[in-house]
Structure 1
Amino acid sequence: MFSRLHELTQFTVFHYFAEVSKIRRRSGQEKEISDFLVQFAKDHHLEVIQDQALNITIKKQATSGYEQAPTVIIQGPMDMIEDKNEDAEHDFAKDPLQLRIEGDMLYATETTLGANSGIALAYSLSLLSSNRIPHPNLEVILTTEGRLTMKGARELDISHLNGTILINLDSDEFGKLLVSGSGGIASTFTVPIIWNEAAKNKILCRIHIGGLKGGHSGLCINQGRGNSIKLLGRILQRLSAKMDFSLAGLAGGTKDTSIPREAEAFVLIQAEKIGQLEAEVEQWNQIFKNELRHSDGQVFAQVTKEEEVFLKVFSKETTEKLIAALLLLPSGVENMSLDFPGLVESSASLGVVNTYATAITFESFIRSSEKSLKDKMINEMKILANVLGSEVTFGYDYPEWPYNPDSKIKSLFEMVYKEKYGENIESIAIHAGLECGLFLEKMDFDAISIGPDVYNSHTPNEHLSISSTLKTWEYLLAVLKEIHAIELIGPQSKFNTDPPLWIG
C-alpha cells in the first residue's frame, strides 16, 4: 500500500505515468506529447518515426536470444479525454494533472486521469528504456485521437512495420483478455434556429441538470446511468405543455463518446411564473432521483435566476423542433445480443448539445457489432431530420474487431496466465471500439488487448488500480519472455478454447 506519490513513482511504470501526466495530451492536440516521445526515443538511441498525424512509431531490437522470435507491435493511444468538475479551477492548457493516492487507487484531483492512454504510454516507455527485460523485436506505436476519431490509427502507414502480433494496451480490466469490439460512427444532428426578439419584461432562468456519473458511452450504456441532455428534454417538454416560456439556449455534455453528466437550458419567463417553474423542476428533481436511485443517486435538477441579458430567443417553431429532437434522438441500448448473454449488440448515445448563432447541434455516437443495425439507426436519424426540417451528417467511422478463435497470441496469454496465477483467464468482447479494428483492416495481425483495472473512465472520478497496474506489467513481461512458445501453438490450441464472454 502506498500513501505518497513519490513512493509510487519509484516503480518505473508509475514514474513514466507521472511524467506524461505533466504533458497535455488532449485528443486532437497531441503535438506536445508526440514531440516528447520523439525526444525520448532520441535520448535512448532508438529509431523513431513521427508521421503527419503525429503518430509515433519507435523500434527496438530484440534482446539476446530473441532475434528469431516474431516481431511484436505494442500499441496504444497517446491522447486523453479532458473533463473536470464544474467548479474545478484546473486549466488543462497549462496545469499538470494533480495525481493523488487513495488506498489502492490513483486519481487526478477534480479532473479525468487519462488512465488508459497514460498506462499505455507508461508501459511502452518502460519497455523501451530498459536494458534488462527479455523481449523480441519491438515496434511501439502510439497513436493520436484514439479517444475520439481514431484518426491516428486510420492514417497510419503500416508499410514500415514487420510485426505480425499486435498487443494493444487500451483495455481496462485485469484478468481478462479483450478479443473483440464493436464498430461505431459519429453523427451531428443540426436544427436551424429562427430567432425572435426577447420580451423585455421577462426574467432569465437557468435549468440545470447535474450530479450524474456519466462515463464511456459504450462500456456504461447498459448500466442505467442518466443522460443529462435527455433528462433536460423531458423537463422542457412538460413545461411546454404547462406554462409559457421562451427558450434562449441549450448546452450539455463534453464528448460524443461520453454519457453527458450535466446539461442546462436558459428560459425567459414572467416574474410571477418563477415559483411555478421552480415547483415544476423540483417535481422532476424528485422523479429523477427515484428513477435513477440505483445508478445515479446524486442526480439533481434545479432552477437559478440569472443576471445575464438575452436579447433574442428561439421562435416557437424552433423550440418545438428542439424539444422533439431531445425526446426522439436515439440514446441508449437498442439491441441486446441473442447469441451471447450480456452483449450490447447496438446502441446510440446523445453526448453533446451546443447552441450557435444559426443552429443547435446534437452530437451522438452509434455503436454496433452488426453493420446492418448501425445502418438502421443511421436511417432513423435521417428520417427524423427530414421530418423536423433539419440536417444530420455522419463523421468518423471505424470497423468492428471480429473475434478470432484461432488466435495464437490469445493462447499464449492464456498459457502464461494459467502458469503465473493458477487459474484460467477470461476472454471478453466489449461494446466499444478499439484501434485494433483499424489495424486489422490494414493487415492480418494476430491481436489481443490487455490492461489494468480502470474505473469511471472519461469522468473526473476516473481512477486506476495501482496493484492491477503492476500485475498487468508483470504479466506483459512474462508473455514477452515466453514469446518463443507461440510457434508451438497450432490452429487448435490446447489451452482455453471457450468462446469469449461478451460484456456491454
Structure 2
Amino acid sequence: MEKRVLSGVEPERVMYYFEKISRIPRESGHEKQISDYIYQWAVEKGLEAQQDSALNVIIKKPASTGYEASDPVMLQAHMDMVCEKNRDSSHDFSRDPILLKIEGDMISSASGTTLGADNGIGVAYCMAVLEDRNLKHPPLEILLTTEEESTFKGALTASPEMFQARKLINLDQSVEDEILTGSCGGSGVKIKLPFTCEAVPKGREYRTFQLRISGLLGGHSGEDIEKGHGSAINLLVRCLYELNKKQDIHLCSISAGTSRLAISREAEAKFLIPQDQEQEALCIVEQMSTVFRTEYRGICDALEVQCRAISQAEPGAISGDSLDKLVQFLYVFPDGIRNMNGVMPGVVESSINLGILRFQNGYLEVEAELRGAFASTCQHIKNQLNVLCRIFGAEIQFFSEYAAWVYNPESELRQKAMEVFKREFGKQLKPIVIHAGIECGCLLQSMPWMDAVAVGPSCWGFHSPGERMSAASVNRVWGFLLKLLEELK
C-alpha cells in the first residue's frame, strides 16, 4: 500500500483525492490517463458520467432530498497542469508522479516541480462532493476539462446541450478571501524569424562561451506579471544587445523559457568571440550582471549571470546583418505590461509575455501569450506584433484564442457567496477581476445564461516549482463550498 503524505490532513477525502491524482501524469495536452481514471471512478461510483472527444469528463449527481426542484449547479475545474521543474530535477512529467511534501501548513512538490494545485485541488473538491452522499445540494453537473493551461480546448468544445445548470462555480481561484468575478481574454502567439547561419570565419582564433541567466522567481504570466519578478529572457536579450553593439560576437544558439504561460526563470545563449576580445566581452557581461542585481535586489537575490568558456565546437553561427536583425527584433519586442486598469487600481489591463525562445531549422522561434480585458486591447497588441513582423520579415500566427469573462454587476450567485462567506468567517469576501484567462469566459460564451463565480484556497507560485498551497485554507474553502451549495436551494 502506498504511503500517503497527506494522511490525517483535513479535509481528509479532498486531500485523499488530491494526492491520488497527483500520482497520475496530466501535462496539458496529455490528459488521457487522468481523464480515463476519473471517468472510470465515476462509473464505479454509480454516477452518470460521460467522456467527450476532448477528453472532458462530465459527471452528474442527483439533488439531495428536498432540493429536487432547485436549478442545477455546475462545479468546474481543469484536469491538466503546467509542467515546470528546476534545472537539477530529473522528474519526467510523462510518467513520474508528483511527490508531495507538507511542512507546517504548506503543501508543495518534493521533487522540484510544479505542485499541480492549479487545478488539481479543484478536481479533488469535485470528487469529494460527488462521493459524499450525506451533503445537501441541488442537482450537480460536474465539468472537468482538458488543456486549460494550453489551448482552452476542453472549455471551448464542451457541448451546451449536455448541461442545464444556471449557476457556475469554478474552482480555479487561488486566494481564499477573494471571489473571482471576471477575467481577461487572450491568445497564444507563434513567430518564426529567419536567419542566415554562416561558417565560422577563418584567420582568427575563436572560443565558445555560454551565457546563462538563472535564479529568477518566474510565475504565472498573467496573475504574477505585475509583481516585478523579472524575465530571464528579457535579461538575456539585454546582455546580447550590449555584446552585439560592442563586440564581434557570432551567435550559435538560444534556449530560453519553457512555456508561453510562465514568466521565464532561466535562459541561455552560446556564442563565439575572438580570443583578443574575450576580456572585454566578459567585462560587459559582468557590468550587466551588476546592473541586474541592482534592479532586482530584494526581489530575486538568487539571480545569477554566468558567462564561461566551453569546449563545444560550433560549425556555424549568426553574425553581421542577420545577427543585428535578430537582436534588434528581440530588443523591441513588446514584452510585459502594456496597460493598467484605470478602474481597479493594481490590476493589469493588458500584457504580453515572451515565454519561449529557441533556434529551429534556420528560424528563431518565439512563443508568447497576450492578454487583455477588452477585445480591442488584445487586437491592439496583435496589430503591434503584425507591424513588427512585417518590418523584420517574420512569420506570425495567433492561436488558442479565448474570450474575456465580463464582470456582471447583477450577479445573484456572487451576492449569495459573499453573504455565506461573511456569515461563516466574519469577514468580507472581496470581488475581483484578474489579469489571467479562466474557463468561465469560454463557458459563458457558449452558455451565456449562466451566472458565474470562481473560488478556491490560497495558493502561491502557480506555473513555477515554487508552487505551494495552504492546507488550512483548503479546509476552510471546503466548508464554505459545502455551505454555499446547501444554500442554493
TM-score by length of 2: 0.96
Corresponding position: 1:458 with 2:460: no
Corresponding position: 1:305 with 2:309: yes
RMSD: 1.4
CA distance in structure 1 between the aligned counterparts of 2:200 and 2:129, rounded to whole angstroms: 62
Structure 1 stretch displaced more, 445-454 or 199-208? 199-208
Q: 2:126 pairs with 101, 124, 132, which one?
A: 124
Question: What is the Cα deviation at residue 10 of structure 1?
Answer: 7.4
For 1:65, the aligned partner's letter is G
Question: What is the Cα deviation at residue 8 of structure 1?
Answer: 2.4
In the alignment, what sits opposite 2:476?
471
Kindly provide the CA deviation profile for residues 19-57 of structure 1, in whole angstroms up to 9, marking residues without a partner as x: 000000000000100100111111101111111111110
Instruction: Tell me if structure 2 keeps the 8 A contact 1:289–1:298.
Output: no
In the alignment, what sits opposite 1:495?
none
Question: What is the Cα deviation at residue 317 of structure 1?
Answer: 2.4
CA distance in structure 2 between the aligned counterparts of 1:398 and 1:182, rounded to whole angstroms: 9
Question: What is the Cα deviation at residue 156 of structure 1?
Answer: 1.2
For 1:169, the aligned partner's letter is L
SS at match of 2:414: helix
CA distance in structure 2 between the aligned counterparts of 1:313 and 1:440, rounded to whole angstroms: 50
CA distance in structure 1 between the aligned counterparts of 2:64 and 2:50, rounded to whole angstroms: 21
Matches within 5 A, 1:253-402: 253-402=257-406
In the alignment, what sits opposite 1:80?
81
Matches within 5 A, 1:86-485: 86-109=87-110, 110-199=112-201, 201-443=205-447, 444-484=449-489
SS at match of 1:7: coil
Question: What is the Cα deviation at residue 315 of structure 1?
Answer: 3.9
In the alignment, what sits opposite 1:65?
66
CA distance in structure 1 between the aligned counterparts of 2:5 and 2:164, rounded to whole angstroms: 42
Structure 1 gaps, min length 5 = 485-504
For 2:457, the aligned partner's letter is P
CA distance in structure 2 between the aligned counterparts of 1:4 and 1:218, rounded to whole angstroms: 31
TM-score by length of 1: 0.93
CA distance in structure 2 between the aligned counterparts of 1:289 and 1:134, rounded to whole angstroms: 55
Instruction: Tell me if structure 2 keeps the 8 A contact 1:219–1:431.
Output: yes
Instruction: Tell me if structure 1 keeps the 8 A contact 2:215–2:265.
Output: yes
Structure 1 stretch displaced more, 272-281 or 235-244? 272-281
Structure 2 gaps, min length 5 = none
Distance change (3 Å), C-alpha of 1:173 and 1:323: same
Please identify runs of 4+ aligned residues in structure 1 that moved more than 4 A. none
Structure 1 stretch displaced more, 444-453 or 288-297? 288-297
Structure 1 stretch displaced more, 312-321 or 285-294? 312-321
CA distance in structure 1 between the aligned counterparts of 2:358 and 2:24, rounded to whole angstroms: 28
CA distance in structure 2 between the aligned counterparts of 1:150 and 1:4, rounded to whole angstroms: 32
Question: What is the Cα deviation at residue 9 of structure 1?
Answer: 7.3
SS at match of 1:360: strand
Instruction: Tell me if structure 1 keeps the 8 A contact 2:193–2:326.
Output: yes
Structure 1 stretch displaced more, 195-204 or 319-328? 195-204
For 2:97, the aligned partner's letter is P
Instruction: Tell me if structure 1 keeps the 8 A contact 2:11–2:475.
Output: no
Question: What is the Cα deviation at residue 468 of structure 1?
Answer: 0.5
CA distance in structure 1 between the aligned counterparts of 2:322 and 2:74, rounded to whole angstroms: 52
CA distance in structure 2 between the aligned counterparts of 1:97 and 1:9, rounded to whole angstroms: 20
CA distance in structure 2 between the aligned counterparts of 1:43 and 1:272, rounded to whole angstroms: 72
Instruction: Tell me if structure 1 keeps the 8 A contact 2:183–2:433.
Output: yes
Question: What is the Cα deviation at residue 277 of structure 1?
Answer: 2.6
Question: What is the Cα deviation at residue 301 of structure 1?
Answer: 0.8
Kindly provide the CA deviation profile for residues 153-196 of structure 1, in whole angstroms up to 9, marking residues without a partner as x: 11111201111110000000001110001111111121112111
Instruction: Tell me if structure 2 keeps the 8 A contact 1:253–1:353.
Output: yes
CA distance in structure 2 between the aligned counterparts of 1:386 and 1:142, rounded to whole angstroms: 41
Question: What is the Cα deviation at residue 4 of structure 1?
Answer: 5.4
SS at match of 2:8: helix
Kindly provide the CA deviation profile for residues 276-312 of structure 1, in whole angstroms up to 9, marking residues without a partner as x: 3322212111111111113322211111222322212
CA distance in structure 2 between the aligned counterparts of 1:344 and 1:208, rounded to whole angstroms: 30
Question: What is the Cα deviation at residue 139 of structure 1?
Answer: 0.7
CA distance in structure 2 between the aligned counterparts of 1:163 and 1:89, rounded to whole angstroms: 43
In the alignment, what sits opposite 1:489?
none
CA distance in structure 1 between the aligned counterparts of 2:319 and 2:10, rounded to whole angstroms: 57
CA distance in structure 1 between the aligned counterparts of 2:330 and 2:289, rounded to whole angstroms: 18
In the alignment, what sits opposite 1:491?
none
Instruction: Tell me if structure 2 keeps the 8 A contact 1:191–1:321.
Output: no
CA distance in structure 2 between the aligned counterparts of 1:403 and 1:17, rounded to whole angstroms: 31
SS at match of 1:171: coil
In the alignment, what sits opposite 2:14?
13
Count of residues in correspondence between the two structures: 482
